[in-house]
Amino acid sequence: MTTAPPTQSKLESKAEPSPPDRPSAGSKETGGIDLARVPRELGRLVGNDETGPTLICLAGLHGNEPAGLSAFVRVQERLTSEPEGLQGHLVGLTGNRGALAKNRRYLVHDLNRIWNRDRVAALRSTPVPVEAEDQELRELDYALQSVLDEARGRVYLLDLHTTSGPGGAFAILDDTLPNREIAMDFPVPLVLGLEEELGGTLAAYCTALGITVVGFEAGMHDDPLAVEQAEAAIWIALDSCGALQPGSRLEVEQAHEVLAARNGVSSRIVEVRFRHHIDRQDGFEMRPDLSSFRPVEAGEVLASSSSGPITAPHSGLLLMPLYQDQGEDGFFIVSEVQPVWLSVSKVLRGLGMEKFLHLLPGVRRHPELPGSFIVDRRYARWLARQMFHLLGFRRVGRQGRTLVMSRRKDQAAR
């Protein structure tokens, strides 16, 4: 699994080496971190059990979201001065270093939309120089592979983000059973199905590698509360993956209290039903008074663009309204999933019910892709798609009236 090392040093690998224009570099909000000089590896703590789990905290995959870096540094300092209870390993990795230096979501490409196997493979053999985010991807890929190669126990990834709009913290997961087990420990709403809308996320790439992954949206970009909530997420992830001796750290208890007090909707599980895609030139502007998890009615005006008002195509809860000038996701609409369905789906997955999916109306096996089905949306509507989700499938393609649904990798609860 070892790949060629990045050809540039950790501190000097920016495709655009211009000076930082982030006013808050090194300020209190960024925990004293100089975002123009942040290393790829933020830190590494080795616990007292060599075969223990490894938790990777990934921070700043989007360059205007530095809260995770500060949070990691805080946890690292705490565990360095008082290492009691640490039995697994903790590694902090930085995402988009070039964009962090400029306080931009990205410079050329969104670093959380380009993790396709073919692209990663091609970049491993491409000579430098390459575009800004391709270089970031290559270095991050190398750093991740190094962690995987060294790990003797199971590897977990906590992908830390923040949002441009208000609405509290939430966790995001590709719905595999191992991902679920970790995500359910966070006392915040859980969002399923985002990966069907977004191609090339690092989370989906790592899930396919067998890493257990949870994304965590810690609050608004520059809100000090986002650092506090991201820190809480790290403590909970450390505990949940077994990197801490059970009951050994007061911080874990405090972390649950912090997140539960601010986001007290622990049983809320939602699934993405709609994404408003923004084209670069369409003058998208969100209505100014919206926040995540606010109920919306079908037909309600949520934003505007050069071609007129943009309305909600159906009722539900709003997620991640966009209040920044970069990004292709205007907003999402989600629906609540009753928690009982998660238990039902766990049982169904254990029974191998996917053997019978082709009997559903409008569903047939894919002739070329193993473990995949073609779904004709004229006959198999919402319910059939829900059935696929329950059984751990995700949409990997859409063409006109047909969807291609494939089984997620890493299905087994290990």
Query: Would you call 133 helix, strand, or coil by DSSP?
Result: helix
For the bound state, the minimum distance from the C-beta of residue 215 to Zn ion, rounded and expressed in Å, comes to 8
Report which of 339, 331, 345 is spatially closest to residue 266, judged by C-alpha positions: 339
Q: Per DSSP, what are the bridge partners of residue 269?
A: 190, 337
For the bound state, the minimum distance from the C-beta of residue 162 to Zn ion, rounded and expressed in Å, comes to 7
Residue type for position 207: T
Q: Please report, for the chain, how many H helices and E strands are present, in that order.
A: 11, 18
Measure the CA–CA gap between 133 and 169, rounded to whole angstroms. Answer: 27
For the bound state, the minimum distance from the C-beta of residue 105 to Zn ion, rounded and expressed in Å, comes to 7
Please identify, using beta-carbon distances, which residue of 62 and 276 lies nearer to Zn ion: 62
Q: Which residue number places its CB atom closest to Zn ion?
A: 161
Measure the CA–CA gap between 141 and 117, rounded to whole angstroms. Answer: 11
Please identify, using beta-carbon distances, which residue of 161 and 389 lies nearer to Zn ion: 161
**For residue 348, which phi and psi values (nearest 5 degrees)?**
-60, -40
Residue in the block written with tokens 């590897």:
155
For the bound state, the minimum distance from the C-beta of residue 347 to Zn ion, rounded and expressed in Å, comes to 34
Token pair, residue 144, equals: 């991740």
**Angle at the Cα of 184 from the Cα atoms of 40 and 231, rounded to 5 degrees:** 40
- Which residues lie near Zn ion (CB under 5 A)? 62, 65, 161
Please identify, using beta-carbon distances, which residue of 62 and 249 lies nearer to Zn ion: 62
Please identify, using beta-carbon distances, which residue of 161 and 349 lies nearer to Zn ion: 161
First-to-last CA distance in the chain?
A: 22
For the bound state, the minimum distance from the C-beta of residue 10 to Zn ion, rounded and expressed in Å, comes to 22
Residue in the block written with tokens 């923040």:
162
Please identify, using beta-carbon distances, which residue of 62 and 275 lies nearer to Zn ion: 62
> In 35-150, where do the E strands start and end?
41-46, 54-59, 89-94
For the bound state, the minimum distance from the C-beta of residue 160 to Zn ion, rounded and expressed in Å, comes to 8
Residue in the block written with tokens 């290559």:
138
Please identify, using beta-carbon distances, which residue of 179 and 201 lies nearer to Zn ion: 201
Please identify, using beta-carbon distances, which residue of 324 and 411 lies nearer to Zn ion: 324
Rounded to 10 degrees, what is the CA torsion of 268, 276, 117, 212? -10
For the bound state, the minimum distance from the C-beta of residue 132 to Zn ion, rounded and expressed in Å, comes to 17
For the bound state, the minimum distance from the C-beta of residue 214 to Zn ion, rounded and expressed in Å, comes to 14
Measure the CA–CA gap between 402 and 206, rounded to whole angstroms. Answer: 27
For the bound state, the minimum distance from the C-beta of residue 70 to Zn ion, rounded and expressed in Å, comes to 15
Please identify, using beta-carbon distances, which residue of 161 and 276 lies nearer to Zn ion: 161
Measure the CA–CA gap between 330 and 349, rounded to whole angstroms. Answer: 34
Please identify, using beta-carbon distances, which residue of 44 and 113 lies nearer to Zn ion: 113
- For residue 396, the surrounding DSSP H or E stretch is strand 393-399
For the bound state, the minimum distance from the C-beta of residue 22 to Zn ion, rounded and expressed in Å, comes to 16
Query: Would you call 132 helix, strand, or coil by DSSP?
Result: helix
Q: Per DSSP, what are the bridge partners of residue 25?
A: none
For the bound state, the minimum distance from the C-beta of residue 64 to Zn ion, rounded and expressed in Å, comes to 8
HSE of 168, CA atoms in CB hemisphere, 13 A: 22
Query: Would you call 403 helix, strand, or coil by DSSP?
Result: strand
Residue in the block written with tokens 């790290």:
234
Please identify, using beta-carbon distances, which residue of 97 and 154 lies nearer to Zn ion: 97
Distances (CA, A) of 296 to 173, 189, 276, 305: 23, 17, 14, 19
Please identify, using beta-carbon distances, which residue of 62 and 407 lies nearer to Zn ion: 62
